[in-house]
Structure formats: structure tokens, C-alpha cells
């Protein structure tokens, strides 16, 4: 489990932006649409600022409102924990915790992969999150990571094993 946490920490360390504005969300979102189409992946994704403002969202045919609800729950987890939703899931699993122990409603928070913080270099607090839904939750996470690696030009970022 420690090795997996190390990989997630490395992903968060390397996949940071110099700046992040709404225009960056548009560019990243368009890259993600093209990546999904090129790889024949049916996946919904959203880019949100910590204010909750959805600055980009894509829900292709084959996705639905349930995916949107999962993205909302994953976003809430990233925003609250200030780390990927997969990292939170692993950490809480290792501690034997669940959302109820922390007073969190599982209808509002998701302990699974698919939510990743948007960090600006030099700022420890994320400014937003990229969230995906429709695949196995670790595949949702890796979709986001693959797109961020391509967008930011970081080929050395390790993949999470599944």
C-alpha cells in the first residue's frame, strides 16, 4: 500500500501548473475530449475551481446524470482533503476509516479514484480539481493523469498500478 501512496504523491508533486485560469481549463478540457475520442474512451469529466464553478464539463453519449453525481462527490472529496480522491481512499482504507467516522455523508463524498487536485506551483492549496467518471475508479484516475501528463508535458510521471 505504501508504494501506491508514493506513486500518488509523486503524481501530485509533478503534475502542477505554472498558473491556472479558466482559459487553461478550456485548453485542458479540449485536450481531454480529443484524448478520449482518440482512445475510444466513453468518459464524463469536469474541471472545477474550488469555488465550485464548473469551468469545463464533457458528458458524451453513453454517460448520464449518475456520472455527474459521482463527479460532484469526487470533487467534494478533493476539495475537502486537498489531495486526489484515490489518495484519500487509500489513506482511509489503511486507517480503517470511512466517511461516517469523519462525520461525512457518503452521499456527498466519494472515496474512490477519479478526482485530482489542480495545483499551482508554489501554492500548497489546490485551486480546483479535474474529475472523471464512467470507468473503473482507478481507470478514471489514470485517464485524468494521462491527460495531465500530456497537457503539462511530463512523461516521467509514474502510472498507478491496477
**Cα distance between residue 78 and residue 84, in whole Å:** 6
Query: SS3 helix, strand, coil % of the chain, rounded to 5?
Result: 50, 15, 35
Q: What residue ranges do the domains of the chain occupy?
A: 2-136
Least confident of 22-36, 79-93, 99-113, 116-130: 99-113
- State the pTM of this model: 0.93
- Each residue's pLDDT tens digit, 122-159: 998 999 999 999 999 999 999 999 999 999 998 888 77
Q: In the chain, count H helices and then E strands.
A: 5, 4
Under 8 Å between Cβ of 34 and 111 = no
- Reported CATH class of domain 2-136: alpha beta
Average pLDDT across the chain, whole number:
92
Tell me the C-alpha distance between 14 and 121, whole Å. Answer: 9
Give the pLDDT score at 49.
98
Q: H-helix or E-strand containing 146? A: helix 137-152
Q: What is the CA radius of gyration of the chain?
A: 14
The kind and range of the H/E element at 45 are strand 44-49
Amino acid at each position: 500500500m505504501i508504494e501506491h501512496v508514493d506513486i500518488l504523491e509523486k503524481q501530485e508533486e509533478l503534475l502542477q501548473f505554472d498558473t491556472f485560469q479558466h482559459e487553461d481549463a478550456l485548453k485542458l478540457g479540449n485536450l481531454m475530449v480529443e484524448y478520449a475520442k482518440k482512445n475510444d474512451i466513453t468518459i464524463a469529466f469536469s474541471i472545477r475551481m474550488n469555488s465550485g464553478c464548473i469551468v469545463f464539463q464533457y458528458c458524451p453519449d453513453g454517460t448520464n446524470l449518475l456520472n455527474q453525481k459521482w463527479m460532484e462527490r469526487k470533487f467534494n472529496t478533493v476539495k475537502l482533503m486537498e489531495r486526489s480522491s484515490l489518495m484519500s481512499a487509500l489513506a482511509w482504507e489503511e486507517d480503517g476509516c470511512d466517511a461516517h467516522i469523519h462525520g461525512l455523508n457518503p452521499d456527498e463524498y466519494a472515496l474512490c479514484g477519479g478526482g485530482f487536485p489542480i495545483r499551482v506551483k508554489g501554492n500548497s492549496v489546490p485551486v480546483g480539481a479535474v474529475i472523471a467518471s464512467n470507468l473503473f475508479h482507478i481507470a478514471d484516475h489514470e485517464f485524468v493523469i494521462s491527460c495531465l501528463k500530456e497537457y503539462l508535458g511530463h512523461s516521467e510521471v509514474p502510472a498507478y498500478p491496477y
